[in-house]
Amino acid sequence: MALDLQILARRLKRAREIQAIEVMVVQQDTGIASERLNQIESGSTKPTGDEVLILANYYHCDFRDFLDHSRPARFEKARKAGYFPIQECELDDLAELARQAPGKLGSGEMSCIAMAYRIRSIAFMTDEKAARKFAENKLSLAVETTPKLYAWLHYNQLLSDGDHSDVISEHENYEKRPLTPHFNDAYQEALRCRLMSLNHK
C-alpha cells in the first residue's frame, strides 16, 4: 500500500496538538528543525524513517499508527467503541486553577485537574508528585496513580498474567522515566490479594 503523505501529515500534527506542544518545543527536544516539521505536517515534505521514529517516541505513540492507514489510532478506536467517555475541561475552572497551581505543572496535568475539580466524583490520576500534592492538599481531590490502576486491572483479571511482560516492555520503550519497579510491585500485590480472596471463599 502506497504511503499517503497527507494522512501521515495530519496524524503527526494531531499527535502534537493533542498534547499542546509548540513546534519550537519539538525542535528543541528532538533536533528536527521547526521549518522542516512544518513542511512535514503540511504534507509537502516526506519525513525520513528516523524522523517518524523520533516523533513517535517523543509523542509517546506507536509509529505504526502513523504509517498504517488501515489501523486506526488506539485512542480513537477505543473512543469510538465507547470504552470511555470524554469529559470537557471548562475554561473558567482552568483559569482559576492556573492562579493557584505551581508553575511547573504541564497543560496535560492542569486540564485533568480542572476536569476532576468540576466533577468531584472521580479521582485525578497522575504520577507527577507536584500535581499529586497540589490536587490532594490544595484542592482536596481524590488522586490515584498508574501503578494502582495497573494493580486493579490485574486483580480483576482485565489483564492476564501473560500481559505483564508486554506492558512493562512497552512502558519502558515509551517513557523517559519508567515506573517499572512500581508496576512490578503492583502486579505482585494484585496476585497476593487475588490469592487471599480465593482462600476466603
Per-domain residue ranges of the chain: 5-80, 91-144, 147-199
Cell numbers 521549518 correspond to what residue? 35
List average pLDDT for each run of 10 residues in the chain, which is 201 residues long.
Answer: 81 87 92 94 92 88 75 66 71 82 78 82 83 89 90 90 87 82 93 85 60
- The arrangement of secondary structure in 5-80, i.e. its CATH architecture, is Orthogonal Bundle (1.10)
d(Cα 166, Cα 74) in Å, to the nearest integer?
16
For residue 59, the model assigns a pLDDT of: 86
For residue 155, the model assigns a pLDDT of: 92
d(Cα 12, Cα 18) in Å, to the nearest integer?
10
For residue 69, the model assigns a pLDDT of: 65
For residue 31, the model assigns a pLDDT of: 94
- State CA 7 to chain mean position distance: 22
For residue 72, the model assigns a pLDDT of: 58
pTM given for the model: 0.52
The CA-based angle 149-153-188, given to 5 degrees, is 85
Q: Residue 145 in contact with residue 126, Cβ under 8 Å?
A: yes
